[in-house]
Chains A and B, each alone.
Chain A
Amino acid sequence: DGGITQSPKYLFRKEGQNVTLSCEQNLNHDAMYWYRQDPGQGLRLIYYSQIVNDFQKGDIAEGYSVSREKKESFPLTVTSAQKNPTAFYLCASGTATTNEKLFFGSGTQLSVL
């Protein structure tokens, strides 16, 4: 079945530690996105990529980094510079034009120990 796979479902970060969230899609989509969801704040865009080896900052990119070495994969690293990383992270993919719907993964809940 085609879809988006995010892993792990739950992740815990220690102080000063970088952690990486995985996102893989087999929908042959060019565009991939990372959103952060906090209670009462909806979804905020962290980074997005329209094509392999290229990505752009979203509204809240500070403290995060990404790579897009393969079309299928768009991992997100939460660095130690992100002082408030506890949130639900959603990965999405779609065609390169945003008039088409996005497909979402099931999310990763990141918490700080």
Chain B
Amino acid sequence: GAVVSQHPSRVICKSGTSVKIECRSLDFQATTMFWYRQFPKKSLMLMATSNEGSKATYEQGVEKDKFLINHASLTLSTLTVTSAHPEDSSFYICSALPGAYNEQFFGPGTRLTVL
């Protein structure tokens, strides 16, 4: 149980385009989902906290207009990288938190490459 999927696993796009990444909790309802960014050989940096039905809470320094997060249902959160640029290339990982639980379950990650 407690499986989280991400789609796509890998995406290559041109500079200036937008890319949407989906995060789904497959066998549980997630009241909260988190989005992380991981640079090569670096740790995970929390970008934002997403709560179902409300606006995401962004960490300091994360541009909310560039990284649009939508948590429309208890099993789906999406991250849209708008007007992507090469510096947005990274590994993006989501996690989901079941209600009344203290452990996040992580997705397998999405590798974004912006040319």
Do A and B come together as binding partners? no
- What is B's interface to A at a CB cutoff of 8 Å? none
